[in-house]
């Protein structure tokens, strides 16, 4: 049995005290323990931003990639070795700015990876600039007169791109966030969770969300209807839903290939042909 301590590392955590990233880290470790997943079979991919330090705080295989490239790296790992559980952690600036072009394709292909986005609606690592999810009118270090842009809706994007698992969590409800991680890790296919994760230093929204969030599963809502999910994804204001908005079981991307049942490292390669090609270009 894997324990919480088994997943810890000696690396000093350098997030700001009170940062929502702590809840994401602990909820993920809780989920791995609940499912008793072998840590050697997990690969974590993280991007650039405060969230990106998470790969050093979890005792599993990990990659820290360049800005916005969590999804293509995670996709490559999963296609090469389908036996691995591949989890991508990204931030809102990382995922929804420079990395936004990768989300539609990972979602529509239904790549069997998990994508957890720490959405604090601010660039925390670079000290407080606005991101694609910063609400309109918010004053930041790069928008001193207020953000002139309307924020994008990550859930609507994921739903429109045919993601098979779409959810939203809140770090102020770690028990619920742990449950979301458990469900996402069990899901066969692309699992996307947008996590409301306040930045206590540059954009502290803890109180704002605590007063507004409610759990979808505590209503009569069922995540099996795409149109209903889109409607709920547009609900934002006095009430903000968290939970699983949509879930569908369908074939994953790798199953479309003739080598779907084997690892790429086990596929026979025509080395003589490759050697001749190298010779032609040297």
Total structural domains within the chain: 1
> Per-residue pLDDT tens for 232-278?
999 999 999 999 999 999 999 988 877 666 676 666 665 566 677 67
For residues 180 and 187, give the distance between their C-alpha atoms in angstroms, rounded to a whole number. Answer: 11
- When pLDDT is cut at 50, 70 and 90, the band that residue 35 belongs to is very high
Q: Any residues with CB less than 8 A from the CB of 118 and at least 6 apart, and which? A: 20, 21, 24, 49, 50, 51, 89, 90, 91, 92, 195, 197
Phi, psi of 215 (to 5 degrees): -85, 125
Write down the pLDDT at residue 17.
Answer: 96
10 pLDDT higher than 60: yes
- Rg over alpha carbons for the chain, rounded to the nearest Å, is 19
What mean pLDDT is reported for the chain?
94
Burial 142-161, CB ≥16 within 10 A → b, else e: ebeeebeeebebbbebbbeb
Q: What is the mean pLDDT of residues 99-121?
A: 97
Write down the pLDDT at residue 280.
Answer: 77
Quote the domain boundaries for residue 87. 5-280
Across 123-132, 192-201, 265-274, least confident range: 265-274
144 pLDDT higher than 80: yes
- Residue entry with tokens 């998470």: 54
> Per-residue pLDDT tens for 65-76?
999 999 999 999
- 261 three-state secondary structure: coil
172 pLDDT higher than 60: yes
Q: What is the mean pLDDT of residues 134-145?
A: 96
11 pLDDT higher than 90: yes
Q: What is the CATH number of the domain that holds 143?
A: 3.40.50.970
Crossing angle of the two packed helices 174-186 and 21-35, in degrees rounded to 10: 50
How do beta strands 240-247 and 165-170 pair?
A: antiparallel
Neighbours of 36 (CB within 10 A): 9
Contact between 188 and 114 under an 8 Å Cβ cutoff? The reply is no
């Amino acid at each position: 049995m894997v324990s919480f301590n088994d997943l810890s590392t000696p690396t000093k955590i350098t997030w700001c005290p009170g940062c929502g990233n702590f809840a994401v880290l602990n909820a993920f470790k809780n989920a791995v323990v609940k499912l008793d997943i072998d840590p050697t079979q997990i690969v974590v991919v993280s991007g650039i931003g405060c969230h990106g330090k998470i790969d050093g705080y979890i005792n599993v295989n990990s990659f820290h990639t360049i800005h916005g490239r969590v999804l293509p790296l995670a996709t490559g790992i999963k296609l090469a070795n389908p036996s691995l559980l591949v989890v991508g952690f990204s931030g809102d600036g990382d995922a929804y700015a420079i990395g936004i072009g990768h989300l539609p394709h990972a979602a529509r292909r239904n790549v069997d990876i998990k994508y957890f986005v720490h959405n604090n609606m601010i660039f925390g690592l670079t000290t407080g600039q606005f991101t694609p999810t910063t609400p309109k009118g918010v004053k930041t270090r790069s928008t001193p007169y207020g953000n002139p842009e309307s924020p994008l809706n990550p859930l609507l994007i994921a739903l429109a791109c045919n993601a098979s698992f779409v959810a939203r969590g809140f770090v102020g409800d770690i028990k619920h966030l742990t449950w979301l991680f458990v469900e996402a890790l069990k899901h066969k296919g692309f699992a996307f969770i947008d996590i409301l994760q306040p930045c206590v230093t540059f954009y502290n929204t803890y109180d704002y969300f605590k007063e507004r969030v409610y759990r979808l599963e505590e209503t009569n809502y069922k995540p099996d209807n795409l149109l209903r999910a889109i409607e709920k994804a547009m609900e934002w204001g006095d009430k903000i839903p968290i939970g699983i908005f949509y879930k569908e079981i369908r074939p994953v991307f790798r199953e479309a290939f003739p080598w779907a049942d084997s690892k790429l490292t086990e596929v026979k390669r025509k080395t003589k042909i490759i050697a001749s090609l190298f010779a032609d270009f040297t």
